[in-house]
Amino acid sequence: MTALRKLLVVDDDPVVGASFKRVLSGKGYLVVAAENGQVALDKLKAEKFDAVFTDLRMPGMDGLQVAEKIRAAQPWTPVVIVTGYGSPASEARARACGVSEFLNKPLSPEMIEDSAEKAVRTVMEGVTAPREQAAPAATLAAPVTFAAPAAEAPAKFSALRMLRNMALFLAAPFIGLLYAVLLPFVGLGMLAWVAVKGKKAEAPAQEAAQAAPAAAPVAEAAVAAPEAMAPVATETPNRGVAGAAKVAVGIVAAPFLGLAWIVVAPFVGLAALAWIGMKTVFERAS
């Protein structure tokens, strides 16, 4: 037969002890009530309890004093604070005293049963008292201190990202103006370079064509290919005219191409920058 688990309920209101007895009786628990802290400490000296549930506000000795004295005398006994006046400060103080759990009234039957089960399981699993766990608690607190800078890193990164996006939006008009100013000159320079390159490429061919008839003997040229020399004489002027026409067309068309660069390029640049900025904003939002 399984031995009953003994619980000590300390509260100046007898209704609380009666509630624990009503919920836990028949479920493997023996509930003993104490009306104040001194009576509870006397019972703990005389009997062995698996867990203690104590009210926070009681006449004479309050629940925190009871918890401190129990932790000093029997550090293996779990202590649970039960109160209807809970606050973050009182809960933090209770945790500092080494209590196992902090319950706020009103208590439901499920809360009573779950808390009793947790307290008894703590004893059965051989978990040491919170005072003896002070060093591990400090160890667990250390990563929180070191984790804080890591948590700040994404925030800093987000701020830098936002500043970068704002800078892109503000710089877009100036970059577009730079496009408008520089790109026409780039276009004109490219056209001039193409024209000069074409002219230089045609010059050796014209010189070779003009030197060929002079280098060949007149008699041999007349006998070998009298008709073949005629196309050479006629093609050279044609090539020169075509090259000159191409250069002239390039020079004439250059201002219009430059104007097209001035009109179109800033809008293309602004659209590209706006697209990059919006894409970054959507990635940030997602």
Which domains are delineated in the chain? 5-132 (3.40.50.2300), 145-285 (no CATH)
Nearest to 63 by CA among 31, 40, 89, 32: 40
Contact by Cβ (8 Å): 73, 37: no
Number of alpha carbons in the 13 Å side-chain half-sphere of residue 249: 8
Distance CA 110, CA 177 (A): 72
- Please give the angle made by the CA atoms of 267, 270 and 275, to the nearest 5 degrees: 120
0.85 exceeded by pTM? no
Whole-number pLDDT of residue 226: 45
Both structure tokens of 274:
């706006």
Element (H, E) at 8: strand 5-10
Whole-number pLDDT of residue 173: 73
H-state helical runs in the chain: 14-24, 37-46, 63-73, 88-97, 109-124, 134-215, 218-224, 229-285
Q: Which ranges of the chain have pLDDT less than 70?
A: 1-2, 124-159, 162, 176, 179-180, 183-184, 186-187, 194, 198-199, 201-245, 247-248, 251-252, 255, 286
Whole-number pLDDT of residue 264: 81
Which residues have C-beta within 8 Å of that of residue 115, sequence separation ≥ 6? Answer: 53, 80, 101, 103
